Chain A
Amino acid sequence: MRSLIDILDLNTDEISQLIDKANDIIANPAKYSEKCRGKKLATLFFEPSTRTRLSFEAAMYELGGNVLGFSAAQNSSAAKGESVADTAKTTSCYADIIAMRHPKEGAPLVAAMNATVPVINAGDGGHNHPTQTLTDLLTIYREKGRLDNLTVGFCGDLKFGRTVHSLISALSRYENIKFVLISPEELKLPSYVKEVLKKNNLEYVQTTDLDSVMPELDILYMTRVQRERFFNEEDYLRLKDSYILYPERLVNAKADISILHPLPRVNEISVAIDDDPRACYFKQVLNGKFIRMALILKLLEVE
């Protein structure tokens, strides 16, 4: 029985297999429509989410399975003070696999240590979000045809952006990736993620200036400055509009740059960019469902 808590729980061969499987699902959806008949996915969401929860639920339904769960902590026994460990043990009695989102970092790991069914981390605080990373990797692969030899810019909130941390960890295992880290001083990448880059002798630059690095980027990964990660509203208001991507900023970008965003966006990407063929963020949403289908199949050991 395996769980997915951190993207590094999967080696690069397994990630390739998941990408291949997702591509096969996209090409032949009918082949997979009954694969999880009789199986149940529990979505335990202690923190609000639209995309991730709906994506997991859609994925399970498209595999012919069923879904149960809750979408806010106040609708669960956590409101009565139940521990994550007990919730995991209880849910294991009802479901074949668990997807958990929790505001506290490490909660899905605690669940995995106590559940008797596989647990998927669907986001834990500002820490990890491995299925978003799989989504991002599938999107990059489908847009670029490779996961190596890329210059990848990360822009916005690199401090609390868990999707950024997970994607950097994942990409650090591929050849010749150059990381360009664009953020205000207050939202720079945390030291533990930078340690990964240093340990692997990976090339990275830190800058506050998006425009100066735009021409070299193959991928631009935009992020939202997240209100829920700040303890103080003043800091949030000061930093929320640090980087806004509007069409004029793309003038110097490569003709084939791929713009990704884990969504939801607030105002950091102008809607005027949505119709630009280089905008990939809604394709990314769709890819998220397919890669989660591939992951559920893998963890349930369904061929």
Chain B
Amino acid sequence: MKIDSIKNGFVIDHITAGNAMKIYNLLGLGNLDCRVALITNVPSNKMGKKDIIKIDDDIVIDTDILGFVDPNATVNIIKDEVIVDKKKLELPEKLTNVIKCKNPRCITSVEQELPQIFNLTDKEKQVYRCLYCETKANNA
């Protein structure tokens, strides 16, 4: 399978196999005008198999969302068809409007205009909790 190389844009590499579609949706890549390639189940020495997303445009990527969904992914920044930078992702300290609180007793369940904010409370176990009610987020 051949996918053209990118001129200016990003390659999100080392995505855990199966996560690409989730990232595609959360980053709103379907709304872009440019070419976006979503490649799944690519053989990988390190990971067995992995997903890759290529974006042929110089957009701003929300690395918080990316870091939350797949902290092991890497972002390669491409300029004039050359990788000029590689970004390692980290779990973001705070997530705003990425996931929703599922606690029916939370104030966000009745006031839908409130921003959905989650804070990283346990980095090791990747635990996020709702700012308002402290309910644990379901990261899956």
**Given the complex of chains A and B, what is the CA–CA distance between A107 and B103 in angstroms?**
13
Instruction: Tell me which of B105, B121, B136 has the highest count of chain A C-beta atoms within 10 A of its own C-beta.
Output: B105
- Does A84 interact with chain B (Cβ within 8 Å)? yes
**Given the complex of chains A and B, what is the CA–CA distance between A191 and B135 in angstroms?**
10
Interface segment, one of B4-12, B21-29, B88-96, B107-115 = B107-115
With A105-B132, A127-B133, A195-B122: A110-B114 Cβ-Cβ less than 8 Å: yes
Hey, what's the 0/1 contact readout for B12-40 against A, CB within 8 Å counting as 1? 00000000000000000000000000000
Which residues of A (81-114) have their CB < 8 Å from a CB of B?
Answer: 83-85, 102-107, 109-110
B107 to chain A, nearest CB (A): 4
Which residues of B (89-140) have their CB < 8 Å from a CB of A?
Answer: 103, 105-111, 113-114, 121-122, 127, 129-136
A187 to chain B, nearest CB (A): 16
Q: When the two chains form their complex, are residues A192 and B136 in contact, meaning their CB atoms are under 8 A apart?
A: yes
B42 to chain A, nearest CB (A): 37
**Given the complex of chains A and B, what is the CA–CA distance between A102 and B103 in angstroms?**
15
Chain A contacts of B121 at CB under 8 A?
A: 195
Q: When the two chains form their complex, are residues A105 and B129 in contact, meaning their CB atoms are under 8 A apart?
A: no
The A contact surface, by secondary structure, is mixed
Instruction: Tell me which of A102, A105, A195 has the highest count of chain B C-beta atoms within 10 A of its own C-beta.
Output: A105
Chain B contacts of A85 at CB under 8 A?
A: 111, 114
Chain A contacts of B108 at CB under 8 A?
A: 106
Q: When the two chains form their complex, are residues A104 and B106 in contact, meaning their CB atoms are under 8 A apart?
A: yes
- Does A126 interact with chain B (Cβ within 8 Å)? yes
**Given the complex of chains A and B, what is the CA–CA distance between A106 and B113 in angstroms?**
14
With A84-B107, A84-B111, A195-B122: A106-B136 Cβ-Cβ less than 8 Å: no
Identify A125's interface contact among B114, B129, B133, B136, CB under 8 A. Answer: B133
Q: When the two chains form their complex, are residues B111 and A105 in contact, meaning their CB atoms are under 8 A apart?
A: no
**Given the complex of chains A and B, what is the CA–CA distance between A48 and B109 in angstroms?**
21
**Given the complex of chains A and B, what is the CA–CA distance between A191 and B111 in angstroms?**
26
**Given the complex of chains A and B, what is the CA–CA distance between A192 and B129 in angstroms?**
9
A125, closest chain B residue (CB): B105
**Given the complex of chains A and B, what is the CA–CA distance between A104 and B106 in angstroms?**
5
**Given the complex of chains A and B, what is the CA–CA distance between A198 and B88 in angstroms?**
31
